[in-house]
Copies of this chain bind each other. A is one copy, B any other.
């Protein structure tokens, strides 16, 4: 595994020429090109990305910062991000922040040392100051003061859709159960969309919305149902919360979907082919990943980008709502 100099020597040309054939830049006579290619093959030449990165100040690597890859939503997202990056010949450095501010900052630092070309981040801490640096940055579901580009799904409509479906399926009193971060997030609109739609339809509703981190969350859910025994349709802020609700309801001996119907939000699946195990409002994870990758590359290439991209959500029928509530 030699260097460019070895190839040049073997092909009896200068290193500049080798570089030219390697990058298809400048004009090279067909015969020399062939000589060089032969030499490369013979030496099993592999260009050194670090040397190139140093020279070009460009690494063709982006960092993905997420709370934890051990979560089906993030792992699906990471899957599609990697796949899209790979199509653009980019590599992906994976960073788990564990929802710790310190770790997020540490990673941003690390990532600058490593000279990634940009960052795609689902972060929940207060990074505003750091994002101000000129590193290309694309966030998911999260606004910063700066004009960073943000990819999100139509969270408001997710809420509307959930309320609408629940009522369509015969619910008489709705509930919203969720938690939110201290920091401004797109996902808080799930609640407002839900509330707005409920009011539009003049359906009564109850709300539980705790601030993360909530301790004894299951107990909170139980209290919610004890205080609102007539709620027969609930929209959970995430699918995992829906799962928690399911567990509580089972403990309380209340049947789903017969007595209470539940719609989650996110649309997590455990692996590519497997079906949903909840009725849910699904975010278009693949499209979000694609958008995030395309945008980050545009930003890296210095093009200006619309600062907010909102993708559509869809209702997916699963086993936690009543099937076909037809006439």
Q: Is the CB of B109 within 8 A of A82?
A: no
- Count the copies: 2
Contact with B along A97-141 (1 / 0, CB 8 A): 000000000000110111100000000000000000000000000
A1-29 vs B, Cβ < 8 Å mask (1 yes, 0 no): 10000000000000000000000000000
Taking residues whose C-beta sits less than 8 angstroms from the other chain, chain A's interface range is 35 or more
Roughly how many angstroms separate A72 CA and B76 CA in the complex, as a whole number?
A: 10
Judged by a CB distance under 8 angstroms, whether A185 is at the interface is no
Q: CA–CA, A243 to B91, complex, Å?
A: 33
Please determine whether A70 and B59 come into contact, CB atoms closer than 8 angstroms.
no
Within 8 Å by CB of A70, from B1, B46, B79, lies: B79
Q: How far is the CA of A227 from the CA of B115 in the complex (A)?
A: 60
**Contact A51-B48, Cβ < 8 Å, known A71-B75, A91-B93:** no
Q: CA separation between A91 and B93, bound complex, in Å? A: 7
Residues of A within 8 A of B (CB): 1, 46-51, 53-54, 59, 61, 68-72, 74-76, 78-79, 82-83, 86, 91-96, 109-110, 112-115, 240, 243, 268, 270-272, 274
